[in-house]
Chains A and B, each alone.
Chain A
Amino acid sequence: MAVLSVKEAVELGERYEIAPSQRLPAFDSGMAEAYLATDRVDASRKVFALISPGHLAIRGLAIAPTRNAAGAYLMWPLASGIVDWPVGVEGNDVLWGRRPAFIYSVPSGESLIGANGQIPQMSETQLIKSFIQPAIQLLRDLILIGCPHRAIRPQNIFFQSGNSGDLMFGDCLASPPGSGQPASCETVDNAISDPVGRGVGSVADDLYAIGATAIMLYLGRDPVAQSTDEQTINAKINMGSFSTLVGGEKLAPSLAELFRGLLCDKVSDRWTIKQLEGWMTGAHFNPTLPSIPQRASRPLKFSGAEYLNKPALAHAMSRHWNEAIALVADGDFDNWFKRGFGDEKAGDKMLRVVGLANAYGPQSSVRDRTVSRYIILMGGNLPICYKDIRTTLMGMGSMLSHYFERSERVQQIAEMMNARLPHAWLEEQPNLRPEQMQLRRSLEMIDKVIDRPGPGYGIERVLYELDRGTPCKSALIADYYVVNSADLLPAIDAAIPGAPHGTLPMDRHIAAFIAVSMKRSMDNELVGLANKEDDIGYRTAILRLLAIVQRVHQNYDLPRLSQVVVEMLEPVITAFHNAGMRDHIRGQIETHAQGCRFDEMLLLLDGDGSLRRADTDGFAQAMKEYAGLERGRAWLANGGLTETTRVRGIAQRAAAITATLTGSACLAAYAVVAVLF
């Protein structure tokens, strides 16, 4: 984010002010940027703010309030929330949006990594007292609130005071979990994944990172600093993480035991906090054996290197995709897979991979799906890999959110979902964590919605189903960081003045966001949005969705949105045939607009409502009446009343009656005269 020269301070609550023009790069944390902040209550207290990126779900907003900022071993926010933040410049005007912000105390001590980038070396005693003990306290605290740290690395550690002594772990909330971790501090599966796609992870990942960081502190250096990520991961796969990071260094037996336990690549064998605490009290455990993958009877050449085990090959294939496509079609790979590991069922497994790759997805990308399924088969718990995508199961939401503006990545993720690769990955895992089992249910929902074209479905729906904390990416409110449907309508209301005239308060993202936020299915309400050609139905469907959100969250202070809705509904009002009813409805809409009552407007305009039905029935009746009058006109014009036969008939009857009456009168008069006179 470029620093904007914005003079005014941004407020977080009533106590803290953040200066958007005063950066503090030394305190940056992963994807979050640090800015100078002020405590209004205690001006002498030094604080700073971390501003998170505005396009990703940030777990810290929900987690920060669950614990107070006590404990010298962990940097925890003094305050957190979503603040107004300058997001750009248009001419001379600053464009404002909203961003998550976290206020921290400036650490009393210096950063662990010196200005020269040097990691300090610690003795075993120092390591235990200054690092391991605070780490245990950290883990105990975070296990209580169910939140792994996922940012344990030397660059994110500070001294509690000065430049020596006990250590303090830095921010873990302002960036996506694991996104700032180097490959050295991450497990193999997390390291392979795109940093944004590493997912929340678990305390087992923190224990691994503690082990990796402890080695660096003991050695006084990063043992893999000169290696690329790919080389580091390859080494970890082939030799194990312990051997990769420790190398040939001689270690005290107790430290070796510690590092082996924490760096075990097999999660089920890795030390837990119980074992770590036990080790601190002097307990000894069975040696943790390195988890080395099965070796093939002969190496397989791929992309200029030779591979002796499946996970290493899977990792290499994920990084050299086009060559991987050629590889799986190669007979040498066939032989290597079937015969290299003594697996009698290898042939069946290969047939299954090919069959499933053909079954899900178009023929044009069957080779990509085949490679991906082989990687899943060979890689075990390696992340899901498909073309340029490498993501853990729990990190899919963040991946999609991070790359949503890049259509080729979005297309790849959509293909990956349609190919049911996440399902394939789940089926290959021997054990699943509860959150992974929960995601299986989300995947079932995603299968139903991903291919539906209407608003509220498709890839936008997938985005919010995968990670419900994802901020709404509608072009109208993307800068407002709306993660909660309670903030949706107020955000739209605030965004209206900046939007072009005639912008409707609904698009695919808003519809999908609402569909995911509501507790019940919104399929019925989304039907109307799917058919834009029925303009009346479309606009009424927009009103219906807004009314539902308003009813749930009781937002009634929406004057600008209300006005836009009134303008939006003008064609719906005009669709009423009866002029009197239109005027009446228009008046009622204006009244309800002043109170921002969308539900009342909906009652008036609903296609199934009484007013609409009365108008439709009345119009049909009026048309009938008009047609009848027109037929009457035609009859008259064709001589209906003046038709000769008719006139003659009437005239003859009239003549007869006239003559008869006249005759009767004369006869009566004659009779009277004759009698009287």
Chain B
Amino acid sequence: MADNSKANSGAAVGLGVKPWVVVVPVVLIGLIFLPSAAVICAGMVPTLVARLVDSSPGRRLSITVGSLNLVGCLYFLDRIWAAGHSVGDIQVVLADSFGWLAALVGAGAGWVIFGAMPLVIGKVAETQTALRLRRITGDQERLVKEWGESVRGIYGVKVASKDEGGE
């Protein structure tokens, strides 16, 4: 909670909003909907862990894990509201292992996405690089065709490859 408050404070500051403007309503809502808040807080523990180890700018790991962790916590939320939304139901709901499975699968999916995305983006970047190089080559050939070899300027010196006897 304290960490969440600090995170909220940080986010609030980043948005240019005073922290207590966010924290106070959240706490009030949490108190009003105490059972929901309790089960969600419990289910979002993986997010807390991610937040602790998150060194990425903008806390993107936290956001990624947290988003899907929250989706997983919907099982707990559904169960507590189905049970009558009382404080006494908290322990019963939290004892449901399927809920924990959902919450942890959600958090795990977040971790997987966060870990796999660089590979995907790297592949995309490679493809982009190849496309751009092809376009650049085409543009340069067009310029040479239109203006002659001298348009290459200082880049007109051809370096021989090793196969051709270069160094």
Query: Are B125 and A642 touching (Cβ within 8 A)?
Result: yes
Q: Tell me the chain B residues, 72-104 only, with Cβ under 8 Å from chain A.
A: 74, 78
Contact of B64 (CB < 8 Å), options: A618, A649, A655: A655
Query: Are A666 and B74 touching (Cβ within 8 A)?
Result: yes
Query: Are B139 and A579 touching (Cβ within 8 A)?
Result: no
CA of A663 to CA of B114, assembled, Å: 14
Q: What per-residue 1/0 map shows which CB atoms of A645-672 lie under 8 Å from chain B?
A: 0111111111110111011101100100
Query: Which of A627, A652, A655, A663 has the largest number of chain B CB atoms within 10 A?
Result: A655
Q: What per-residue 1/0 map shows which CB atoms of A621-648 lie under 8 Å from chain B?
A: 0110111011011001100111000111
Q: What per-residue 1/0 map shows which CB atoms of B41-85 lie under 8 Å from chain A?
A: 000000000000000111011011111101100100010000000
A648 contacts across to B, CB distance below 8 A: 118
A646 to chain B, nearest CB (A): 8
**Does B162 touch A at the CB level, under 8 Å?**
no
**Does B145 touch A at the CB level, under 8 Å?**
yes
B52 to chain A, nearest CB (A): 17
**Does A577 touch B at the CB level, under 8 Å?**
yes
Contact of A627 (CB < 8 Å), options: B66, B122, B153: B153
User: With contacts A627-B155, A633-B133, A655-B64 known, is A667 near B118, CB below 8 A?
Assistant: no
CA of A662 to CA of B147, assembled, Å: 52
B30 to chain A, nearest CB (A): 18
B153 contacts across to A, CB distance below 8 A: 623, 626-627
**Does B25 touch A at the CB level, under 8 Å?**
no
Q: What per-residue 1/0 map shows which CB atoms of A553-588 lie under 8 Å from chain B?
A: 000000000000000000000000111100000000
User: With contacts A627-B155, A642-B129 known, is A577 near B147, CB below 8 A?
Assistant: yes
A653 contacts across to B, CB distance below 8 A: 58, 60
A536 to chain B, nearest CB (A): 14
**Does A285 touch B at the CB level, under 8 Å?**
no
B64 contacts across to A, CB distance below 8 A: 652, 655-656, 658-660
CA of A626 to CA of B154, assembled, Å: 10
B17 to chain A, nearest CB (A): 19
Query: Are B147 and A663 touching (Cβ within 8 A)?
Result: no
Contact of A660 (CB < 8 Å), options: B61, B67, B120: B67
Contact of B146 (CB < 8 Å), options: A580, A670, A674: A580
Query: Are B145 and A579 touching (Cβ within 8 A)?
Result: yes
Interface size on A, residues (CB 8 A): 41
B151 contacts across to A, CB distance below 8 A: 577, 619, 622-623, 626
**Does B22 touch A at the CB level, under 8 Å?**
no
User: With contacts A629-B136, A647-B122, A663-B67 known, is A658 near B147, CB below 8 A?
Assistant: no
Contact of B110 (CB < 8 Å), options: A630, A640, A659: A659
**Does B15 touch A at the CB level, under 8 Å?**
no
Q: What per-residue 1/0 map shows which CB atoms of A587-617 lie under 8 Å from chain B?
A: 0000000000000000000000000000000
Query: Are B67 and A662 touching (Cβ within 8 A)?
Result: yes
Q: What per-residue 1/0 map shows which CB atoms of B105-124 lie under 8 Å from chain A?
A: 00001100110011011100
User: With contacts A633-B136, A655-B114, A666-B74 known, is A660 near B63, CB below 8 A?
Assistant: yes
Which residue in chain A gives the minimum CB-CB distance to B71?
A666
**Does B6 touch A at the CB level, under 8 Å?**
no
A534 to chain B, nearest CB (A): 17
Q: Tell me the chain A residues, 205-262 only, with Cβ under 8 Å from chain B.
A: none
A632 contacts across to B, CB distance below 8 A: 132, 136
Q: What per-residue 1/0 map shows which CB atoms of B20-36 lie under 8 Å from chain A?
A: 00000000000000000
Query: Are B143 and A622 touching (Cβ within 8 A)?
Result: yes
Which residues of chain A have a CB within 8 Å of any CB of chain B? 577-580, 618-619, 622-623, 625-627, 629-630, 632-633, 636-637, 640-642, 646-656, 658-660, 662-664, 666-667, 670, 674
Interface pairs A-B: 6 shortest CB-CB: A663-B67, A651-B118, A651-B117, A659-B67, A652-B60, A659-B64
30 A-B contacts, Cβ less than 8 Å apart? Answer: A577-B147, A577-B151, A579-B146, A618-B147, A622-B147, A623-B147, A625-B139, A626-B152, A627-B153, A627-B155, A629-B143, A633-B136, A642-B126, A647-B118, A647-B122, A650-B125, A651-B117, A653-B58, A653-B60, A655-B64, A655-B110, A655-B113, A656-B60, A656-B64, A656-B67, A659-B109, A660-B64, A666-B71, A667-B70, A667-B74
